Amino acid sequence: MATAPIEFNPFDPAVVADPYPYYRLMRERDPVHRNATIRTWFLTRHADVCELLRDERFSSDGTQGERYVPPPPGRGRPGRSMLVVDPPDHTRLRNLVSKAFTPRMVERLRPRIEAIAADLVDRLADESGADLISRFAYPLPVIVIAEMLGVPARDRAQFQEWSAVVVRGLDPVLDSETQEAVFDARDALVAYIRGIIGERRREPADDLITAMIAAREEGDLFSEGELVGMCNLLLIAGHETTVNLIGGGVLALLRNPDQLDRMRREPALAATAVEELLRYAPPVQWTGRVATEELELGGRRIAPRQTVVGILAAANRDPEVFGDPDRLDIGRDPNPHVSFGRGIHFCLGAPLAKLEAQVALPMLLERFPDLRLAGEPDPRPTWNLRGLAHLPVAL
């Protein structure tokens, strides 16, 4: 067996096109891998990724890392959100909104989610083909989060444009033109959110932004910047993730006709199917942390301020944990995938994302029994948020 040193380069277009062979190579040959050029550690084993996300000696605050480059003064700074802070601030911020996202609260949205999905499906009914991303996978979660927060429907298209640029900033290194575009889009988004907060202050409504403003005014528990950061995080998370679960999920089923058939015959498998699609095609491929002290992980020594990336998508295919990991099996149970992370930053929106997919996928398959691919799906160019720009289907 070849034992030449490997170097994982996440900017190689071949990695973005199909990262799984690279993940496997790393997991087998160098599971705690250091790329010295980009000064980053990459973890690919399930156990190591879980350890990274649970060990409080790792921080979520990237500004503490050796690789942090601050944006130019006054530019590209969204307010800090729970995603990028540690306790006690993390605990305080997460507690402010966690009630709105519990499985019980989210279940109350089911009729509305069903109505939105049914309306989108109805609009497709007279057509022979469509781009499933723009006509179904994208609008569903976007309408849901916009309604929860209270963002006016008329602004959706503009918002969508900024959000797509902002998330390019999640990839580790950018050329200067993209970096500028990311700063511009972040600034535009923050200005927009400040505008909405101002509107809700003048005219309160029955939505999450109004509730957060009220909480801030009553208890002064969080700053104006943190309020902006929270809205920013929820809007972006609601726009850029579930679309890829639904879009990537449909594609995975179309490419595995035995599993597609099984799903049609046994719609009761929706819950395990959604977990399996999350494992098999994770919308968020990785998440990073910064070491706050010298420590050891998987037999390697990590220095303070070094960046460690846990590749969730690689952990999800670790044969130590998942039998036949490259196989899609919509009945797989148990399924301890890490697509929503682990530990204190475990995805707040997980119950919502799962419910949306559990409603959307069976409805789509029932309504269009002949659903099939009608051309090459068009991947988005980002490594972290893995998804499709277009998914042409015949209906």
Least separation in angstroms between CB 84 and ligand HEM = 8
Tokens standing for 23?
């993940």
Interface residue with ligand HEM, options 252, 284, 363, 385 (CB under 6 A): 284
Q: Which of residues 133-152 bind ligand HEM (CB under 6 A)?
A: 145
Stretch that binds ligand HEM, among 25-33, 162-170, 348-356, 383-391 (CB under 6 A): 348-356
Q: Is 273 in the site for ligand HEM (CB under 6 A)?
A: no
- SS3 state at 116: helix
Q: H/E/C letters for each residue in 270-333?
A: HHHHHHHHHHHCCCECEEEEEECCCEEECCEEECCCCEEEEEHHHHCCCCCCCCCCCCCCCCCC
Q: Quick check: 249 binds ligand HEM (CB under 6 A)?
A: no
Which range binds ligand HEM by CB under 6 A, 37-45, 191-199, 232-240, 264-272? 232-240
Should residue 269 be labelled a site residue for ligand HEM when binding is judged by CB under 6 A?
Answer: no
- Closest approach, Cβ 334 to ligand HEM, in A, equals 18
**At CA 231, angle to CA 387 and CA 113, rounded to 5?**
60
234 lies in the binding site for ligand HEM (CB under 6 A): yes
From CA 50, how far away is CA 324, in angstroms rounded?
Answer: 20
Q: How many residues bind ligand HEM (CB under 6 A)?
A: 25
Q: Least separation, in Å, of the C-beta of 126 and ligand HEM?
A: 30
Minimum gap (Å) between residue 225 Cβ and ligand HEM: 16
**43 vs 353, beta carbon nearer ligand HEM:** 353
Does 237 bind ligand HEM (CB under 6 A)? Our answer is: yes
How far from 314 is each of 24, 44, 149, 252, 345, CA to CA, in Å? 7, 5, 33, 17, 19
Give 122-154 as a 3 state SS string.
HHHCCCCEEEHHHHHHCHHHHHHHHHHHCCCHH
Query: Distance between the two ends of the chain, CA-based, in angstroms?
Result: 47
Three state DSSP letters for 29-56: HCCEEEECCCCEEEECCHHHHHHHHHCC
Q: Which residue is nearest to ligand HEM (CB)?
A: 349
Interhelix angle for 270-280 vs 350-367, to 10°? Answer: 110
At closest approach, how far in Å is the CB of 215 from ligand HEM?
16
- Near ligand HEM in 325-344, by CB under 6 A: 339-341
Q: Taking the complex as a whole, how short is the minimal distance between the CB of residue 104 and ligand HEM, in angstroms?
A: 16
**Residue of the chain from 212, 352, 364, 391 that contacts ligand HEM (CB under 6 A):** 352
- Report the nearest approach of ligand HEM to the CB of residue 288 (Å): 7
SS3 68: coil
> What residues numbered 86-105 form the site for ligand HEM, per CB under 6 A?
94
Name 36's Cβ contacts closer than 8 Å, sequence gap at least 6: none
359 is a site residue for ligand HEM (CB under 6 A): no
d(CA 105, CA 321): 32
Q: Is residue 83 near ligand HEM by the rule CB under 6 A?
A: yes
In angstroms, what is the minimal distance from the CB of 169 to ligand HEM? 15
Residue 251 binds ligand HEM (CB under 6 A): no
- Cα 161–chain centre separation: 17
Q: Which residues lie near ligand HEM (CB under 6 A)? A: 53, 60, 82-83, 94, 145, 233-234, 237-238, 241-242, 245, 283-284, 287, 339-341, 345, 347-349, 352-353
